[in-house]
């Protein structure tokens, strides 16, 4: 229940200090045994553009620089981060909370796949339950001391992204796109949602930009020419990189060895991270 205003002349419509006029905060309290300095969301307006790949690449680069890093896998129905790092549950839990699992390069990871009896068990939940699970990854997980927590978002602008933006203290987001014709709509959707939620956009990373021929070294743009520069300019955003298709990265992810990946194409994105 809202508190009564102490201003005797309050008319609610004119009293700026009236509690009934203050916007309600949906921010959740961090687990008391966690101390996270920066929360960065990795988002896209559609699926299949490589958000998990970008999330893990950024996490690897920041860990390489000596920062303490975690990944919150918010893609509850399509989690892939644990598999990329070769992590299998169950995650350890006690009265104080749940402990994330740690990759071979020191990145803390929490995902629904680390709580399920088997990693191939489907998660058939409705939106509110999915959103509540994301909140629990913030309130119930003992992250400890982290410089950066990267949140791997599900595609679109539904319940889970909304919950992350409202419930977590997100410092900024990176939008992931691809060179296909849909890119303008993809970027605009993510950008407009961030604007509505008053979340800073750090910039745009384009994935699948080209593939390098192993024989002649020629760059082949199999998904078409990129339009990300003009799209980003129209929105006042930075282009943080254009990443080629690299079979070696895909193989590392399939083998659970993504901790070995050093992706130089996200270096500009790393430099935009809040310090």
Is 239 annotated to bind ligand? no
Cite the DSSP H helix spans in the chain.
Answer: 51-64, 81-84, 127-139, 159-167, 183-196, 228-235, 247-254, 267-271
CA distances from residue 43 to 24, 181, 210, 247 in whole angstroms, order as listed: 25, 18, 21, 23
Is 48 annotated to bind ligand? yes
Is 178 annotated to bind ligand? no
Our CA dihedral for 137, 152, 198, 189, rounded to 10 degrees, sits at -140
Is 198 annotated to bind ligand? no
CB 114 within 8 A of CB 89: yes
Tokens matching residue 219? 């760059």
Is 45 annotated to bind ligand? yes
Cite the DSSP H helix spans in 65-178.
Answer: 81-84, 127-139, 159-167
Is 189 annotated to bind ligand? no
Which distant-in-sequence residues (6+ apart) come within 8 Å of 252 by Cβ? 84, 258, 260, 261
Is 41 annotated to bind ligand? no
Is 50 annotated to bind ligand? yes
DSSP 272: T
Binding-site residue numbers for ATP are 45-52
Binding-site residue numbers are 45-52
């Amino acid at each position: 229940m809202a508190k009564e205003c102490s201003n005797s002349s309050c008319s609610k419509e004119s009293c700026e200090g009236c509690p009934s006029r203050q916007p309600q905060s949906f921010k959740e309290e961090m687990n008391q045994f966690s101390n996270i300095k920066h929360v960065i969301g990795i988002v896209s307006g559609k699926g299949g553009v490589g958000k998990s790949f970008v999330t893990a690449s950024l996490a690897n680069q920041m860990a390489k620089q000596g920062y303490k890093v975690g990944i919150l896998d918010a893609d509850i129905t399509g989690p892939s981060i644990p598999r990329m790092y070769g992590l299998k549950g169950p995650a350890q839990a006690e009265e104080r909370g749940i402990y994330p699992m740690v990759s071979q390069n020191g990145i803390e990871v929490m995902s629904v796949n680390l709580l399920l009896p088997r990693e191939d068990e489907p998660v058939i939940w409705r939106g509110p339950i999915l959103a509540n699970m994301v909140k629990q990854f913030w309130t119930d997980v003992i992250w400890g001391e982290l410089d950066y927590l990267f949140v791997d978002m599900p595609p679109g602008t539904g319940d889970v992204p909304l919950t992350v933006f409202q419930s977590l203290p997100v410092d900024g987001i990176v939008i992931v796109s691809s060179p296909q014709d849909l890119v303008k709509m993809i970027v605009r959707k993510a950008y407009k949602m961030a604007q509505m939620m008053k979340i800073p956009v750090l910039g745009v990373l384009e994935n699948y930009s080209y593939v390098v021929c192993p024989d002649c070294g020629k760059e082949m743009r199999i998904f078409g020419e990129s339009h990300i520069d003009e799209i980003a300019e129209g929105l006042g955003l930075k282009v943080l990189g254009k990443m080629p298709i690299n079979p070696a990265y895909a193989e590392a992810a399939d083998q659970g060895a993504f901790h070995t990946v050093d992706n130089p194409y996200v270096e500009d994105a790393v430099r935009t991270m809040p310090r």
